[in-house]
Amino acid sequence: MLSRTAENLYWLARYVERAEYIARTIDATLRVTALPAAYIGKTNEWESALLTAGVSASFYEAYPEATEQNVVEYLAFSSSNPSSIKNCIEAARLNSRSVRTALTSEMWDTINSAWIELQEVWGKGTSSREELARFLRFVQETSLRFDGSAYRTMLRNDAYWFSRLGLHLERADNTARILDVKYHVLLPEEEHVGGPLDYYQWTSILRSVSALTAYHWVYRETLKPWLIADLLILNDTLPRSLASCYSNLVRNLDQIGVAYGRQGAAQRHARGVRNRLEHSHMDDIFQHGVHEFIQEFIADNARLGEIITKQYLI
Amino acid sequence: MAVAFDEMNGPGGDLRPAYRELSRWLKETPPDALEYRRQEAELLFRRIGITFAVYGDAEAQERLIPFDVIPRIMSAKEWAVLEKGLKQRVRALNMFLRDIYHGRDILRANIIPDDLIFQNPVFRPEMNGQSVPHDVYVHIAGIDIVRVDADNFIVLEDNARTPSGVSYMLENREIMMRLFPDLFARHRVAPVERYPDELLSALRSVAPLSASAEPTVALMTPGVYNSAYYEHSFLADKLGIELVEGRDLIVKNDEVFMRTTEGLKRVDVIYRRVDDDFLDPLTFRPDSALGVPGLMSAYAAGNITLANAVGTGIADDKAIYSYMPEVVKFYLGEEPILKNVPTWRCREPKDLAYVLDNLSELVVKEVHGSGGYGMLIGPAATKATIEAFRDKLKREPEGFIAQPTLALSTCPTCTASGLAPRHVDLRPFVLTGSKHVTIVPGGLTRVALKEGSLVVNSSQGGGTKDTWILDE
């Protein structure tokens, strides 16, 4: 297939995944900030939402203060924030238009309808928490529909694999960012002195990767920070864990390698990261430092993006 | 201006046979049901994303062309005449182009003045002596046809460069079949859906000799911001070929390749929807970012077929248009089946004098204009507009032609105040491959939605209709 088509499919999937992630971040933050101050302490959760979205620096160029209104506006609707939900959906539609021939009509319809709704219903933003909740649901449903229609209607060929590469690479990056911002509340068993404050931080983390229920099913335990770290980093059964993202990345890259009859740097690099995750243990990671581990992962993940681009997309 | 010929209610208000069933159906169908279907159609168009862009209109970067749900109907007999005339016309266009870029018999026979060719900016000296596979220059032609009475089809314009609109012909039919299955059941409408197949086989048939047995065809678009981008992606999809932009292509050793995830892949035929000027920055406009450096040298080496060929603009130029009846006779030795609109060439002093004396009754067009821009419609213009135009015309008479205002035929159309006649034209699409000239029965009917208006261009408030050719 055309390199440009592959590139568009890859970015299309990334934008849709990113829009959903931003929506989840806002949603999780709304829930934490709705709690009485005694439960969440003095930290500014909106500040940390900006950090997990990776747009803190650019935010302060436009706004003086990280209030709910400012942050929601910036994350959801701002035209000047390249990663705002609005811009993600617009970029997704532009990418879709460029590769219409590679999309199934269901996928196109999902993106195009979302783009129309974005303009017609959400053109002026939201004016209440209820409206905001409806908007966030709309974004998450768009992403689910898109993902589902891709899964159910696309031919299993390189077009599908490139779009999955974008999805998993973006997802891995998002999960890693949450961990990067919140690593200080994820402590190993022996150091743990948890209060109610941390408890709500933990639920918030799980919620932003839609893993609150999953946690209980996997561990059958009350919330323990080291188990949360284990779930998000090493548990292959959780779709948003780093381990799961890399299983998928390795598989999709292998499929491309087989179809093209050639393996390359992307396959080798992805397998390297996956092997490291597979052979890691939370104890070792805590010993080595969660922060360092995550930082290294983020860099490795970005590196994979560069290698894929060089190998296939240009 | 004479009273227009209505295609449903002919002269004297007699219902014409092709419309018998439709008329009965319209009487049975309550008006609000039509309105409901119209809204449904609009929703479908938007969801599918069938839009076009209007340049210089920031407000509406993507707009819908209004769709009128009342079909335009022609009998098999009417179509047979039209089809024959179109094939004749396109054969002549191809022979004319071959001649102009080779022996130039027609110039030596003094049928067309030399300067009209050689001083014409759309004449491409690069094409002199260049052979093209099977001598086909215009693989896809969109010939604009109007009617003024029951018997005569008149060619308004030959579009021989990159004619657009065929996606509307196909999508209009799809949507009509979804909305009005009962109405189709009451007619025998000739299908149009084989157009993409016929286009693909025409394109493959003209692959260069150096191509493999299974030539690779690609559709080249200026990109997602082009006004006809939807059509480009639609056609690429229906043909099952790659939709490429200039940056996807690269020329090596006079061969054209596309960049794929598996490396470079040779391309043999490019159905290009990019104008000549932008094809190759080394040959044409050096500032073109849409083109492919070296494409013209691969073309000269005979390793790539461009459809349509470079330089076809000389055949659909409005100044050349007026010579088309002679062109048909010269190459084919036949009487032209389709008429021309009588045309005054303002470059000729006698014609210019007549035009200047009768501006308020004529349509004056720029020789190189398109899209309905820059023209004067005398009967509809104010005195001041006419005077301003008169100055322009005097300054540069060779830039204009003039034609009488035709009483374009009308068809029943949904309007705010119920069904009413509106003026229409028709663009059928004529395909030329190595062996055959083919036309799917139908075309794009454009309708001027404003009462009395004769301008059907989508950029100026025109809409479209499905065009039905009855099978019996």
**Which tokens is B372 given?**
């309905």
Q: Which residue in chain A is spatially nearest to B223 when comparing CA positions? A: A98
Tell me whether residues A3 and B259 touch, CB distance under 8 A: yes
Average pLDDT, integer, range A30-52? 82
CB < 8 Å to A260, chain B: 261-262
Distance CA A313, CA A13 (A): 15
Return the pLDDT at B457: 79
> Going by DSSP bridges, is the β-strand pair B305-307/B140-147 parallel, antiparallel, or unpaired?
unpaired
Q: How many CB pairs under 8 A join A and B?
A: 53
Among residues of chain A, what percentage have pLDDT more than 70?
96
Select the residue of B49, B234, B245 nearest A4 (Cβ to Cβ).
Answer: B245
Cis peptide before B128 (omega within 30 of 0): no
Q: How far is B294 from chain A (nearest CA, A)?
A: 20
Q: pLDDT tens-digit profile of B85-120?
A: 999 999 999 999 999 999 999 999 999 999 999 988
Cα A291 to its chain centre, rounded Å, is 18
CB < 8 Å to B46, chain A: 116
CB < 8 Å to B243, chain A: 100-101
Asked if pLDDT for residue B194 goes beyond 60, the answer is yes
Bigger pLDDT: A308 vs A185: A308
Q: Which residue in chain A is spatially nearest to B243 when comparing CA positions? A: A101
Q: Is residue A2 classed as helix, strand or coil in its secondary structure? A: strand
Q: How far is A199 from chain B (nearest CA, A)?
A: 45
Average pLDDT, integer, range B314-326? 92
**Region of poorest pLDDT, from A99-108, B17-26, B440-449:** A99-108
Tell me whether residues B261 and A113 touch, CB distance under 8 A: no
Is residue B232 within 8 Å of residue B221, measured between CB atoms?
yes
Asked if pLDDT for residue B389 goes beyond 80, the answer is yes
Q: Is A113 an 8 Å CB contact of chain B?
A: yes
Return the pLDDT at A88: 97
CB-neighbour burial class of residue A82 (10 A; exposed 0-12, middle 13-18, buried 19+): exposed
Asked if pLDDT for residue A171 goes beyond 90, the answer is yes
Asked if pLDDT for residue B59 goes beyond 50, the answer is no
Q: Residue B61's pLDDT band (boundaries 50, 70, 90)?
A: low
Q: Which residue in chain A is spatially nearest to B234 when comparing CA positions? A: A101
Return the pLDDT at A5: 94
Tell me whether residues A100 and B237 touch, CB distance under 8 A: yes
Tell me whether residues A4 and B49 touch, CB distance under 8 A: no
> Going by DSSP bridges, is the β-strand pair B269-272/B305-307 parallel, antiparallel, or unpaired?
parallel
Q: Which residue in chain B is spatially nearest to A257 when comparing CA positions? A: B262
Q: Is A3 an 8 Å CB contact of chain B?
A: yes
Give, in order, the Cα–Cα distances in Å from A30 to each of A21, A118, A132, B9, B436: 14, 21, 10, 66, 67
Asked if pLDDT for residue A14 goes beyond 90, the answer is yes
Average pLDDT, integer, range A92-100? 91
Return the DSSP state at A264: -
Q: pLDDT tens-digit profile of A251-279?
A: 999 999 999 999 999 999 999 999 999 99
CB < 8 Å to A253, chain B: none
Return the pLDDT at A200: 82
Return the pLDDT at B18: 95
Is residue B423 within 8 Å of residue B5, measured between CB atoms?
no
Among residues of chain A, what percentage have pLDDT more than 90?
73
> Which residues on adjacent β-strands are paired with residue B445?
B426, B465
Tell me whether residues A109 and B47 touch, CB distance under 8 A: yes
Q: pLDDT tens-digit profile of B161-180?
A: 999 999 999 999 999 999 99
Buried b (16+ CB within 10 A) or exposed e, B102-126: eeeebbeeeebeeebbeebebbbeb
Return the pLDDT at B32: 86
**Region of poorest pLDDT, from A112-121, B42-51, B272-281, B383-392:** B42-51
Q: Which residue in chain A is spatially nearest to B236 when comparing CA positions? A: A101
Only one residue has tokens 């004619």, namely: B163
Q: Residue B57's pLDDT band (boundaries 50, 70, 90)?
A: very low
Return the pLDDT at B370: 60
Average pLDDT, chain A: 92
Bigger pLDDT: A136 vs B61: A136
Buried b (16+ CB within 10 A) or exposed e, A253-278: bebbeeeeeeebebbebbbebbebbe
Return the pLDDT at A242: 97
Angle at alpha carbon of residue A239, lines to A314 and B262, rounded to 5° = 20
Q: Residue B312's pLDDT band (boundaries 50, 70, 90)?
A: very high
Alpha carbons within 13 A on the beta-carbon side of B12: 3
Q: Which residue in chain B is spatially nearest to A94 when comparing CA positions? A: B224
Q: For residue A126, which of A145, A107, A141, A139 has the smallest C-alpha distance?
A: A139
**Which tokens is B77 given?**
């007999």
Asked if pLDDT for residue B53 goes beyond 70, the answer is no
Give, in order, the Cα–Cα distances in Å from A165 to each of A159, A251, B107, B129, B133: 10, 10, 61, 50, 43
Tell me whether residues B248 and A3 touch, CB distance under 8 A: yes
Q: Residue A23's pLDDT band (boundaries 50, 70, 90)?
A: very high
Q: Residue B52's pLDDT band (boundaries 50, 70, 90)?
A: low
Is residue A240 within 8 Å of residue A171, measured between CB atoms?
yes
Tell me whether residues A108 and B46 touch, CB distance under 8 A: no
Distance CA B188, CA B394 (A): 53
Is residue A278 within 8 Å of residue A243, measured between CB atoms?
yes
Give, in order, the Cα–Cα distances in Å from B434 to each of B135, B202, B203, B206: 8, 7, 9, 6
Please name the residues in contact with B439: beta carbons below 8 A apart, sequence gap of 6 or more: B83, B86, B87, B428, B429, B430, B431
Asked if pLDDT for residue B200 goes beyond 60, the answer is yes
Distance CA B67, CA B414 (A): 10
